[in-house]
Amino acid sequence: MKPRCEAYECVDLAWLSRGGKFDDQTPRTWKYSGGGLEITAYPGPWAVELHAEGHIHRIVLSYTETRFGGRRPWFSCPHCQKRRRVLHYVQKSLACRACFDLRYTSEVEDALSRAARQRRRLMQKVGGSDPGGDFPLKPKGMHWKTYRAIEAKAQASLKAFALGVARMGPR
């Protein structure tokens, strides 16, 4: 599952330049369905200011020549500086899809390894050695209450792990 334009708010330069002009400094407002978010764009020749949730994001523009002697504007991604037509707005920051995909993937990977480490630790507490194996039986001398609590935590971390794997999706 990857962030997509439908699931996350995005800003499309093609939309800004609808009607041929985009640097006439006429503000345009995007209204997104659902969350009630609005992004207002104040276009200028070298940068577009995007106002969202009380913050101003200044997006630098660059141009490439077209074959017919015109110029084509591009957003410069605030994160990787690459030329982009579409920027995504996720958790109050703007970046291109590739940048968000990278961050998203590493966050899921972090959650996965955290869950795996936690499960290993919990298994060791009850005498287990194989983190991928079955949950060990209650060790002699351990209170049932303690054992059940560890078992519940291990279940939760297994669930978190499975969820993380599901979110990673096909690579």
Binding residues (CB under 5 A) for Zn ion: these are 77, 79-80, 95-96, 99
> Which is it for strands 83-84 and 71-76: parallel, antiparallel or unpaired?
antiparallel
Distance in Å, CB of 97 to Zn ion, minimum = 8
Distance in Å, CB of 81 to Zn ion, minimum = 7
- Complex with Zn ion: residue 88 or 119, whichever CB lies closer: 88
Distance CA 42, CA 63 (A): 18
Write out the H or E segment, with its range, that includes residue 108.
helix 97-125
- Complex with Zn ion: residue 10 or 77, whichever CB lies closer: 77
- Complex with Zn ion: residue 82 or 117, whichever CB lies closer: 82
Distance in Å, CB of 145 to Zn ion, minimum = 51
Distance CA 155, CA 149 (A): 10
Distance in Å, CB of 115 to Zn ion, minimum = 29
- Complex with Zn ion: residue 16 or 59, whichever CB lies closer: 59
What's the N-to-C CA distance of the chain in angstroms? 10
Distance CA 63, CA 89 (A): 22
Cα separation values, 20 from 44, 45, 73, 85, 108, Å = 14, 13, 11, 15, 41
